[in-house]
Structures are given as structure tokens and as C-alpha cells.
Amino acid sequence: MRKSYLDNLRWVTVVLVVIYHVLYMYNGEGIVGTVGKITGLEIQYYDAYQYLVYPWFMTLLFIVSGVSARYSLSKRTGKEFIRIRTNKLLVPCTIGLFAFYFIQGYINASLSDAGEFDVPAPFKYLIYCLSGIGVLWYIQMLWLFSLAVVLIKKIDKDRLWNVCRKTPSPVILLLCVPVYLAGQILNTPVICVYRFGLYLLAFLLGYFVFSHDEVIDKLKKYFWLLAVIGAAAAVAFTYVYFIKEMRIYADDPVYRTPLFLLSTYFGSIAMIGGFARYFDWENGFTKWMNKRSWGLYLFHYMGISAVGLIFAKTGLLPAWACYLLSAVAGFALAYLLDFIIPKIPFFRWAVMGITKKKKESNNVQG
């Protein structure tokens, strides 16, 4: 049985990601690869949103994906699971780059002026393909973790998973320690999104720990405590690194600090507990949002960045209009592409990982 709160948690988190990327595109903190600050404000205080959500929302998606992987593997063989995950995750971030996402790469390169390099067209195309990875980094890592968990399940034979069913509440709280330690290792330089230590642990915690109803019941019971801890950590992190020190949240060593990783863990499990307690239901709207969340994640940044390139970087529109149009384009273009691309043979597979067995492909949670 599908868990409604997991579906709701996924699409709500993707919406938070879209809002984050709108502010990220015009951030005043000097993050490269974006349009950057377009207002006359000395400090864009609304940029605090990025500091409040950045530490935990992708970790949360990896936890949810780990839970979903557990549910999927409980009714499929390892080979079936890998085949489905390869179509849905690996194909879009490999073949899809050459078939479609090079368009995003062109926009990214143009934003950073890399598209002006005088090199032969085939090399420019390859640059655009690599630059087009963008938000696909998440599904790249998710595919690797999916392979790993199949191997782990084959070796472990669910012994550890059964032990984790009885995880006591104090241990759930103390899991913030291994999360902190994981945040210190396997972080790639320069491209800071590939945090293999942290995100692999998050995925495994979802698979082994938070896939148990008994554990979720504890998160529901202590939701308000977790919410207070998570909110306090997020606010403290924002105050220290946005207000006081004015340091970029994604820079090393900021993303390895205790405040960042406390916000990462407690923000994630507070969201899980809150949604399991209050949002474990569905209606027509939530079903529609969940059905479109995959396309919204894959395509939202194209609309946002295109507006940034065409209207903000050139100064054709005032700042407020650029923000508004970017938000509208982020949703509208994503939903439009999500409607059109599944109808086009080859592209529905190459770009979105949808096979002829559409129902099987789309029902894979995470």
C-alpha cells in the first residue's frame, strides 16, 4: 500500500525546491552560475529562506527515497528493481543529456558566459551536455545508492532491517551523531552537491530505519519536540551564517558545521513526523501534485534559468517582475513539458525514464 504522507512529503519538498531555485537564481550572496543580485537592496533578507531550507530538503528527499526503495524491493526482485531504477534514473542523466538536457546546459553556460568560448561546435555541444546535469545530480546519486542497497539486501538478508524495527526513541535522537560524521566525509570539491557520505547515510537510514511503521509512530508522537529542535537549529544556522558572518551556505566548511548538520537531521525527521501525523491523506489536488512531482523536479530549473537569462541578465524587466516570472515559468514550463514529453516516443524514455510499461515506471516511489 502506498503511503500518502510520503507522496505528499515528496511533492511538497519539490515545491520548496522550486521556490529555493527562484531565490537562488537572484541571490545576493555571490553564488556563481546564477544571474545574481538584481535588486538595489543592501541585504536581500528574503534570501534567508535559502539558509533555512538548504541544509535539510535534499537530505529529506534521500531519506524518502530510501524508504521507497525498501517498499519497492519488498515486492520486486533485485534485477527487476535495478531495471526499473536504471530506466527511471540512469537513462535521463546519461542519454537524456544528449537528447534534451543540453538545452539546460546552454542556458547554464550562457549565464556564466562560458558559452562565449571560441571552440568548435561539437566541443560546445559536449560542454552544454555536461553543464546540463543541473538538478539531475540527485538522480545520479540515487541510482548508485539503489545498486548499493540491492547488494546490501542480498548480503544482509534483512537481518539489520528487522533489528532497526525496534529502534528506540533515544537512538533516533542520537542518530544525529552519525549524520554529523557522515557530513564530514566523501564531499567532492568544487561541485559541492555530491556529498556521498551524508546522502548515502540518509538513503540507508530511510531504507533500514524510517521504513518501519513502528519508527514512524515515534516520530509522530514526538513531532513537536523534533520540530522545535529542527526549527531552532535552522534559525540558529541562518542567524550565524546569513546575518552574522554572511557566508555562503553551500561552501566548505559551512556545510560540515554542527549547526548545518543538526538542521539537516532534525529538519528532515521533523518533516517526516509532521507529515505522517497530519498529512497522511489524499484528495484530487494532492494526487495531481504527486503525479506531476517527477516532471516538476526534472524541468523546473529550465524555466527559472531561462527567465534569468532572457529578462534578468539583460535588464529587460524590473527585479520584481523577474522574480514573479521565474516562479511562474518554473511551474508552468515544467508542467507543460511533463504533459508533452511522455507523449513523444524515445524522448519519454530518454528524458523522463518512462518505458512502454508506463504504470510500472511511474509507480516507483522515490
Q: What is the pLDDT of residues 67-100, one digit of tens each?
A: 999 999 999 999 999 999 999 999 999 999 999 9
- Chain centroid to Cα 82, Å, comes to 21
**What is the reported pLDDT for 281?**
96
For a pLDDT cut of 90, what percent of the chain falls above it?
A: 91
Low-confidence ranges of the chain (pLDDT < 70): 1, 114-117, 357-366
**What is the reported pLDDT for 357?**
58
Angle at 336 between CA 14 and CA 306, to 5 degrees: 75
**What is the reported pLDDT for 362?**
45
Contact 264, 304 (CB under 8 A): no
Strands (E), 210-323: none
**What is the reported pLDDT for 360?**
45
Its pTM stands at 0.95
Query: What whole-number distance in Å separates Cα of residue 351 and Cα of residue 354?
Result: 8
**What is the reported pLDDT for 83?**
96
Q: Any residues with CB less than 8 A from the CB of 282 and at least 6 apart, and which?
A: 4, 7, 8, 290
Long-range contacts at 240-247 (CB < 8 A, ≥ 24 apart)? 241/51, 242/47, 242/48, 242/51, 243/48, 246/29
Query: What whole-number distance in Å separates Cα of residue 53 and Cα of residue 238?
Result: 10
**What is the reported pLDDT for 348?**
97
The Cα-based distances of 173 to 54, 215, 229 in angstroms read 21, 12, 10
Q: What is the pLDDT of residues 323-361, one digit of tens each?
A: 999 999 999 999 999 999 999 999 999 999 998 755 444
**What is the reported pLDDT for 359?**
47
Contact 326, 25 (CB under 8 A): yes
**What is the reported pLDDT for 174?**
98
